[in-house]
């Protein structure tokens, strides 16, 4: 497996950051989570004057063999149809990226369709959808490693080419809440039933069927007891490629904005390989998928937004960006008490 050099952030600057924030013209702590966010961004960038440059949202798409078991109301062809739709600019993630100044990068990680060239979609296809993990591993170890390497390469190229220092990740893949729920269960110990939700719109009967299928798949697991083996057995190509992208982003010192249920499961898996990645993660939103709050709680983190979103695509992460931007503007643009001769009033 590709190795990454991910270091915990150096906290030597922390007293100076806190001092600067506490001496801005406001009561101490009165800007709440903006102050914590500003501190985190300063530590990631190792500066008292942080900046956000060239934000990107990288959207990986892939199909899942487990969809053959009726665990999703979305048919498989929706994956390539939506990926094509993204390339034309009329989807949810498109207007959000336009609104907040993100460049949207589209990647075919493993869609079960031959997407024509010339649509601005990067071809990183590892296979035409994963295998059905009810009966065996979704991907081989070699395929997992290829996904990680390709995801890392995408992020490195973005960073080198544009100077991007803040990045979010999105996904498209019918049925991908199923592998996400399994990862959540395996990597937190939360009972599987509490990890499973409606996905794209299952009713109660559908959710129960989904639980039956996934519980059988977990019981059928014949791999070794390692994080890597479980990632490969149950993961999706788009999920593992995002995992590689997140690990590379942390290695490069980028701020990672984490999207909803699926991308939270990806950074959860990433953290089991490299715990220090959590220093670089800002959790954009708490989604409406059942289990997302439990997963966030298990990781000891709190999302910036709770808008009942369950779209995926990176939509919640991009929605949260203005809050992160406000935190950076706060520490850079607010006056200090000393600079404007205002008496400290707390």
Residues 155/245, Cβ–Cβ less than 8 Å: yes
Stretch (H or E) spanning 104: strand 103-110
Neighbours of 171 (CB within 10 A): 27
Residues 88/104, Cβ–Cβ less than 8 Å: no
- The answer for residues whose C-beta is within 8 angstroms of residue 146's C-beta and 6 or more apart is 126
313 an active-site residue?
A: yes
Q: Catalytic pick from 35, 143, 251, 313?
A: 313
3-state helix, strand, coil split of the chain in percent (to 5) is: 50, 10, 40
**What angle in degrees, to the nearest 10, is found between the helix axes of 177-188 and 204-219?**
60
Q: How many helices (H) and strands (E) does the chain have?
A: 14, 6
- Scanning the structure block, which residue is given the tokens 């990632």? 231
Task: Quote the CA–CA distance of 239 and 231 in Å, as a whole number.
Answer: 9
- Scanning the structure block, which residue is given the tokens 């404007």? 340
Neighbours of 5 (CB within 10 A): 10
The token pair at 185 is 């269960």
Beta-ladder partners of 59 = 106, 170
Residues carrying an active site annotation: 313
């Amino acid at each position: 497996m590709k190795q990454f050099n991910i270091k915990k952030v150096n906290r030597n600057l922390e007293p100076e950051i806190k001092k600067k924030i506490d001496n801005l013209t406001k009561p101490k702590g009165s800007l709440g989570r903006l102050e914590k966010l500003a501190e985190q961004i300063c530590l990631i960038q190792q500066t008292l004057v942080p900046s956000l440059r060239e934000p990107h949202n990288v959207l990986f798409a892939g199909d899942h063999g487990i969809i053959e078991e009726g665990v999703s109301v979305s048919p498989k062809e929706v994956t390539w149809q939506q990926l094509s739709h993204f390339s034309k600019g009329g989807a949810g993630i498109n207007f959000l990226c336009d609104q907040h100044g993100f460049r949207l990068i589209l990647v075919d990680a493993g869609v079960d369709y031959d997407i024509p060239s010339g649509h601005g979609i990067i071809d990183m296809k590892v296979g035409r959808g994963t295998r059905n993990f009810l009966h065996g591993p979704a991907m081989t170890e070699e395929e997992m490693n290829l996904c990680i390497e390709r995801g890392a390469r995408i992020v490195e190229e973005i960073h080198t080419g544009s100077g991007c220092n803040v990045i979010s990740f999105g996904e498209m893949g019918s049925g991908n809440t199923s592998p996400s729920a399994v990862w959540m269960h395996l990597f937190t110990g939360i009972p599987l039933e509490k990890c499973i939700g409606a996905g794209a719109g299952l009713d109660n009967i559908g959710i129960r069927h989904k639980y039956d299928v996934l519980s059988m798949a977990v019981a059928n697991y014949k791999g070794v007891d390692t994080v890597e083996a479980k990632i490969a057995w149950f993961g999706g190509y788009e999920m593992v490629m995002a995992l590689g992208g997140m690990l590379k982003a942390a290695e490069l010192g980028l701020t990672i904005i984490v999207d909803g249920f699926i991308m939270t499961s990806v950074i959860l898996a990433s953290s089991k390989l490299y715990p220090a990645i959590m220093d670089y993660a800002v959790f954009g939103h708490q989604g409406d998928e059942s289990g997302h709050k439990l997963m966030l709680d298990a990781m000891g983190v709190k999302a910036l937004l709770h808008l009942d979103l369950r779209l995926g695509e990176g939509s919640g992460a991009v929605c949260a960006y203005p809050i992160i931007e406000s935190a950076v503007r706060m520490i850079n643009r607010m006056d200090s008490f000393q600079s404007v001769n205002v008496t400290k009033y707390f």
